[in-house]
Each structure stands twice: as C-alpha cells, then as structure tokens.
A and B are shown apart, each in its own frame.
Chain A
Amino acid sequence: MKLFTYAKAGTTAESAIQEAAQKQGAHYIAGGTNLIDLMKDDVMTPDHLVDITALSCSQIEKIAGGGVKIGALVSNSDLANDPYIRSHYPVLSRALLSGASAQLRNMATVGGNLMQRTRCSYFYDVAGDCNKRKPGSGCPAIEGYNRMHSILGASGKCITAHPSDMCVALAALDATVHLAGPNGERKVKLVDFHKLPGNTPEIETVLNPHELIVSVELPAPVNGHSKNWCYLKVRDRASYAFALVSAAACLEMEGGKIKSARLALGGVAPKPWRAVEAEKLLVGKNADEKTFKAAAEAVMKTAKGYEHNKFKIELGKRTIVRALKVAASTGGMS
C-alpha cells in the first residue's frame, strides 16, 4: 500500500471539505470497506485520507411531508434495521441486508455504499489494462471473462456492473442525494448521481472535486409499498455474493390492477438501473404473467450480452417477472 497522510475532520462538512481541498490527492474515508480493499491492491492510491467519521451526519430523521433524511454516515446495518425503514420502506431494508456480510454492513456507510467501485476483476488487476483505472488503456473485459458484467448501459470503453444492492432500492424509491462542496450545497436525484461509462468510464458520479455526500432523502412512503414490494437478488451463492441480477419492485394496487409501479435493477448495468419504460407499461394493467412478461421484455429490449454473460438477459427477464409477481401478491419474501 502506498503511504498516505491522515487527518480527522471535525463535526462539520465544511471542516472536511477544507481539509480535503488543502491537500493534493486527498480522499474521504468513513467505513473504508471498499477503499481500503482497493488501496491494498494499489488500485486506489490516495496521498491524504480525511477521516469523516466525526461528522454529524449519522442520524435517520423524519422530515416534513413524511419523508426521511438518512445521514451519509449511517451504517448499512443501522439503516436496514431502523424500525421506520423496515415498516415503511421494506424494499430498502431487504436490499441492504442482501449485500455483503453482517461485519461489512456494520462498517459500511450509506455514503460509502453510493461511492462503491466496480468489482470487475480487470479493474482490480493493476498489471493489466482498464479504462477506468488508466483511461485509454483499453477494456480487457469486453473480450475477456465477463460473466459478472453489464448487459445494459455499457459502452465500447467499459462494461462493468454497479455492485450495490442499496442503490437499486434507492433508485426505485426516488431517493435524492444531498451534497456539500466548496461551492455550497446541492441536491441530485439518485438516478442521476451515477454516470454511464460512455467515453469516460473513469468518471463514475456527478461529484465535483472535494464534494461530499451528506445525506440521502427518501420521499414520503407510498402506501402500497409497505405491502406490495419485493427485492429479489439472484446470485451464485445464497448469501454473501454480488448479484448476477437483482430487482427491486414496488407496486400500488387497486382492485387487481396496478395503479403505479417502480422497478429498478442491479447487476445488469454500470449504474443502478431504473426501468422507467417498463413502469409505464405496468400502469393500469392487470397484475398477471402477461403484463409482467411484457414489462420484462421492455427492459431487456436494448440488452446486449457478451460471451459469458448472455444468460443474464433471460435471467433478468425471469427475475423481473418473479419480483413483480411477489410484489403484486403477498409482497416481501420471494
């Protein structure tokens, strides 16, 4: 690991931003579960670490209008186990609990989960090429072992998949990310926070230099979402593995018909994938197999498989159909 200097910021975002802006190659650290892993492999080599764990953003607060503001430093476990989240946004709780292990969820923060880097093995292999790590060097995954990679939203420069479960649920729940930076505060919709690789796969989010995630806001819970929801994660092991495909589905039902729908996918794209077209197709329809299959087809219309991950297209469709079925009927467990 490359040597770095270390400083602990105070309780305000300003103190952290100031500390980071003063030093070359500064990087924020909180839970560190992804950053330290990448530093051990020399994939990330910050010169200066700004420890933000003393910042006062570790609360889950109800806000006016019925929504929730989740501090960026809230741990993944605390968020998943929060009684209000469990009863009003269960899809988020289940998505969080489906990721990593109990130990990692205790360490990992909400802000850090948003900032997770890809688990593409070529990104981790510093001896080889990777357009994310060394822009312009090439993407060996396109012709290589790409079983875990994207089938939607990839580019000729990068086909990595976003690893987060939490972000899939946040995308479905219409979350907003609150940022603080050297030029003040701003808000970004979660679905706009991550960027598709395009020609610049090294740019993964809309964050400006030294900008900091301070909280994530959920709008007021939708009535039906505490019953008609499902987070279905399909993976190689029953636990503690990244998704091949995952789906977060939340429905509002009215007399056997779908009044409104939210659908987001994980494991299939370089960012949490909100399936807006499919949602439109679901509205006003009967909650039956035919409707769900049509929605799944719509999501995968533009899907492109590579040598080892073509199976994800069919798997993705089946995952969507099953998640919608569960959400429309009993809700919860798949």
Chain B
Amino acid sequence: MKKGKDGNPAPSGSDGAQTRREFIATAAVVGAGLALTGGLTEHAEAGEVINDPMAVKVQVPSPPSSIAVELNVNDKLEMVKVDPRTSLLDALREYMGLTGSKKGCDHGQCGACTVIVDGKRINSCLTFAVMYQGKKITTIEGLTDGEALHPMQAAFVKYDGFQCGYCTPGQICSAVAMLNEAKAGCVSAVTPDLACAKAQLTDAEIRERMSGNLCRCGAYPGIVEAIKSVAGV
C-alpha cells in the first residue's frame, strides 16, 4: 500500500476509491494471509475453502522447504537458501543480484541464460540451483577484469554484435566457451571430417556452434565477425 511522507498509509485516489494497483496489493496480502493460515492449521486440507471473503478457492501448499546451497560464482563463494524449484538462473539473478544472465524463454531454447560451469556452457534456466554446489560458475559479470572488458565483449561492441542487447550476455558467455571447445578440438555437426584433430573455424562452423543462442534483432553477421576477430580467423 502507498505510504505518505510520514510513513502512514497515503489516502487512496482523490475520490477515495482504490486504485487498481492498491487493489492488487491488498488482494495479494489477503492471499498470503490465507496461505499462512492454511500452513499453520492442522485441519485445513489442500484445496479447501478457508474463510474466504472473496469466494476464491485457494490451493494451500505446505510451506516450501528451503535448501541451503553454497554456490561458487565468479570465484566468490556464497550461501543461498533456495526453494528446490529455483533454477540456477533464478538463484543468480534473484538471490545473488547477478542480473547479467537473462531470462528469455526459460525453457532452454534461446540461450539468453547461458553461463559457464566448470568450463562448459550450459542453459542456467534449465537446471536446479541445488544441484550446483561445488561447481565453478562463471557469469557475464565474471568475464570482465575489473573495469576492463573481456576481449569478446570488446569485439561485440566493435563489430555491432547486438542491437537491443538482451541476448548479448548469453551470446558472449557462449562464444567464450565455444572458442575453448574449438581449441580443445571439439567437432560439430558440420565438421567435414570427424576424425580431424582440430576443425577449422569457418563461418559455417561458428554459426552451427552458436545455434543455441538466438538473437531476435538478427545481429548474427556482427556476432560471427566478433567471434572471428577474437579467434583470429
């Protein structure tokens, strides 16, 4: 509810009627109260209608059991207490304040949430934070060296590797890990000879290897150029 300068609730809209925002806030508070009641009352069954002024049938789940997990992100250890349903992406963004990794589709299809775990790029939206204790996680925030941009970040700026920028942290994390994969001799679906020691990073190879990162602005030509400049090809 809105607060006045003195900290007391401010009067509602000039005509005394509740604004839409206030109504939603009030309803949310009532809802939370019901959930709490349900959780504490022995006889309240899940799905039962409990003293409901708005005649809304509420689901009353038992209070979520949080799990403490120590995450190693960008070389810093942090203990977070999370509901087991929390994705690694949500833990990074909502619990650790690392909002560089983005939530696009939240289903592992767009790559905006890409982070690097133990040297490998993954979709942080499609995994649970509780499974990541003891692993070394690097996000876009961890790629910079103080104020200095990572070479891949600088290349994205130089070669117009983005327009709106929403997919960019994922693109950059993905590109950094991809070049390490290529260095290690990893092949792709378009590598002509799978038995080769090291595939040549052609445009086709870069595009195939980066296909898990979508850019709705269509900045792909710039992204490919940026990656090529860092790879030195």
* Chain A interface (Cβ < 8 Å from any Cβ of B): 1, 3-6, 8, 29, 32-33, 36-37, 40, 49, 51, 53, 77, 80-81, 86-87, 90, 93-94, 97-98, 100-104, 106-107, 226, 238-240, 332-333
Contact = CB atoms under 8 A, between A and B. Distances in A.
Given A32-B126, A51-B131, A103 B111 contact: yes
Given A32-B127, A87-B195, A107-B122, A81 B187 contact: yes
Contacts of B111: 101, 103
A103 B193 contact: no
B67 interface: yes
Nearest to A35: B126
Interface in B154-206: 174, 177-178, 181, 185-189, 191-195
B64 A3 contact: yes
B209 to A, nearest CB: 6
Interface in B67-104: 67, 83-85, 87
Contacts of B212: 100-104, 240
Given A103-B212, A107-B122, A90 B127 contact: no
Given A87-B195, A239-B189, 10 more contacts: A5-B65, A6-B130, A37-B107, A49-B84, A51-B130, A86-B187, A103-B114, A103-B123, A239-B211, A240-B211
Contacts of B64: 3
Contacts of B107: 37, 40
Contact of A333 (B174, B186, B192): B192
Contacts of A36: 87, 126-128
A94 B188 CA distance: 8
Given A49-B84, A102-B178, A103-B123, A94 B186 contact: no
A226 B174 CA distance: 31
Contacts of A104: 108, 123, 126, 212
B20 to A, nearest CB: 28
A292 to B, nearest CB: 23
